[in-house]
């Protein structure tokens, strides 16, 4: 018990004893004791009402002028607490100001949204990038970023990768957006303006496309003349046959590189176009690719097996998918020795994804090379790839084509045992004839 309470109790006992004695004089001790207790109770109630009014009405919590005791102690304690709270509040305000200043200094836009996608806070860059102002706090972010691509990304809940999109539907602005969930149900939206980066990429891609295009004509002329010389049977042509054959081979290789570079540039420039996608009969497409590559002289594998789900249809661009699947099959043939086996499969996996798979029993690839295989001109063995007519661009083309179809390339391989290249298309791109979805 605090000293204030014991003093208060003693005071009450003293008062009660006084009332009792006074009651004895009046020969009404019970009555005076009751009156005294009532008076004490009413006084306490009055003090409580006074405290309540002070607590609700005061701004600075300075204690009123009352005698020392339990009530004074209460006033003092509330005053001290309030003073502490104000000190903490001031410190937090300074901290918040500093945090706000550092967030405002960020070159990228930062927006905090809640579980209902409403904007809670944003930094200065967000005002410029997304044209936000203070009246937008509380508004759903989808009312500001009205892009279907962004809506899909927001609702997907899969924020592992950034979303590159064009928020204002013009070719001038490109944003890279990333969502980072935190604190239970809040999410941080980080938006980076990559317009300049995109412009540079386009300059590079245009440059490669232009150079490739410019190289095409001289290469055709060189090949034409060399072929002509090789056809002649005179003394001069016979003497120069070997160098001429080498020139012809290298010119052909260069033409293949130029063709692949042009295809890559075209793929980069075209981006994702839903309207160019049609329902494709994948088993028929794979059969026709197999028949094309089986033409004599293209490889020496013993057999190309087909394991095809006849019902599989995919929403895709035929020319692009033909080029991607041909590249995978040609690679399997190129890197599988004589007597090896190549199998082409298509099926729907357990998660409803459409899969096209090319498996071989060839030389395989060491694990450290696998993450880099889709880079342009990346080759495990440059000499061997060149000898087999490789350009180093085949898998880069595959990657771009699959990106256009929201699909992924999974590569599994064991050196000496073979490789399996699997293209996985999301369920949204799959249609099955028997289910009548086509
Ligand atoms: P390339 O024209 O050299 O074949 P790609 O981009 O198609 O270029 O392939 C890149 C590299 O990946 C190849 O150089 C080769 O080392 C390796 N590779 C691709 N497919 C296979 C495969 N089926 N088996 C073994 N290695 C492969």
Taking only the tens place, the pLDDT of each residue in 181-205 is 998 889 999 999 898 998 998 898 8
Q: Which atom of ligand 1 lies closest to the CA of 364?
A: 25
What separation in Å is there between the alpha carbon of 106 and the centre of ligand 1?
A: 43
Of these ranges, 145-149, 206-210, 294-298, 372-376, the one predicted with the greatest mean pLDDT is 372-376
* pLDDT at residue number 5: 85
| Residue 20: other Cβ atoms inside 10 A | 14
Mean pLDDT of the 313-317 span: 94
Q: Which of 59-68, 213-222, 225-234 has the lowest mean pLDDT?
A: 59-68
Q: Please name the residue whose Cα sits nearest to atom 25 of ligand 1.
A: 364
Mean pLDDT of the 53-75 span: 85
Give the position of tokens 């809040």: 186
pLDDT > 70 fraction of the chain, expressed in percent and rounded: 95
C-alpha closest to that of 271 among 171, 190, 353: 171
Give the position of tokens 């295989």: 373
* pLDDT at residue number 275: 65
Q: Please name the residue whose Cα sits nearest to atom 11 of ligand 1.
A: 379
- Strands across the sheet containing 341-348: 303-308, 341-348, 354-360, 418-425, 408-414
What separation in Å is there between the alpha carbon of 379 and the centre of ligand 1?
A: 6
Q: Please name the residue whose Cα sits nearest to atom 2 of ligand 1.
A: 390
Q: What integer best gives the mean pLDDT of the chain?
A: 88
What separation in Å is there between the alpha carbon of 265 and the centre of ligand 1?
A: 20
Q: Spell out which residues line ligand 1, taking CB within 6 angstroms.
A: 327, 331-332, 335, 360, 362-363, 365, 373, 378-381, 385, 390-396, 419
* pLDDT at residue number 146: 85
Mean pLDDT of the 109-116 span: 93
What separation in Å is there between the alpha carbon of 368 and the centre of ligand 1?
A: 14
Sign of CA dihedral 145, 150, 154, 159: negative
Distance CA 137, CA 141 (A): 9
Q: Please name the residue whose Cα sits nearest to atom 13 of ligand 1.
A: 379
Q: Which atom of ligand 1 lies closest to the CA of 389?
A: 2
Mean pLDDT of the 363-385 span: 91
């Amino acid at each position: 018990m605090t000293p204030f309470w014991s003093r208060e109790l003693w005071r009450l006992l003293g008062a009660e004893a006084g009332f009792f004695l006074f009651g004895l004089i009046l020969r009404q001790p019970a009555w005076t004791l009751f009156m005294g207790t009532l008076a004490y109770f009413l006084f306490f109630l009055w003090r409580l009402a006074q405290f309540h009014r002070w607590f609700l009405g005061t701004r600075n919590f300075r204690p009123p002028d009352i005698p020392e005791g339990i009530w004074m102690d209460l006033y003092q304690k509330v005053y001290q607490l309030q003073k502490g709270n104000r000190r903490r509040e001031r410190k937090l305000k300074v901290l918040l100001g500093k945090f706000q200043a550092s967030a405002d200094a960020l070159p990228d836009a930062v927006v905090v949204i809640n579980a209902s996608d409403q904007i809670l806070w944003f930094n200065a860059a967000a005002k410029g990038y997304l044209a936000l102002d203070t009246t937008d706090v509380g508004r759903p972010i989808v009312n500001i970023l009205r892009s279907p691509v962004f809506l899909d990304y927001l609702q997907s809940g899969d924020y592992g990768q950034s979303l590159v999109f064009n928020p204002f539907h013009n070719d001038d602005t490109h944003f890279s957006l990333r969502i980072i969930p935190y604190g239970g149900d809040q999410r941080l939206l980080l938006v980076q303006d990559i317009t300049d980066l995109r412009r540079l990429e386009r300059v590079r891609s245009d440059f490669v496309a232009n150079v490739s295009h410019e190289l095409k004509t001289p290469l055709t002329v060189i090949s034409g003349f060399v072929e002509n010389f090789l056809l002649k049977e005179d003394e001069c042509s016979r003497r120069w046959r070997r160098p001429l054959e080498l020139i012809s081979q290298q010119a052909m290789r260069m033409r293949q590189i130029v063709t692949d570079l042009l295809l890559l540039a075209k793929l980069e420039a075209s981006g994702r176009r839903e309207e160019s996608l049609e329902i494709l009969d994948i088993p028929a497409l794979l059969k026709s690719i197999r028949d094309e590559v089986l033409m004599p002289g293209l490889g020496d594998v013993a057999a190309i097996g087909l394991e095809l789900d006849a019902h599989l249809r995919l929403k895709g661009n035929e020319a692009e998918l033909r080029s991607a699947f041909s590249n995978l099959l040609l690679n399997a043939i190129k890197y599988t020795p004589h007597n090896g086996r190549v199998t082409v499969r298509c099926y729907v996996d357990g998660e409803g994804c459409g899969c096209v798979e090319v498996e071989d029993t060839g030389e395989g690839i060491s694990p450290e090379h696998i993450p880099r295989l889709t880079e342009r001109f990346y080759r495990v063995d440059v000499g061997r790839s060149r000898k087999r007519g490789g350009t180093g661009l085949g898998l880069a083309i595959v990657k771009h084509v699959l990106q256009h179809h929201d699909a992924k390339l999974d590569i599994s391989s064991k050196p000496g045992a073979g490789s399996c290249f699997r293209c996985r298309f999301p369920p949204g791109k799959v249609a099955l004839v028997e289910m009548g979805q086509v």
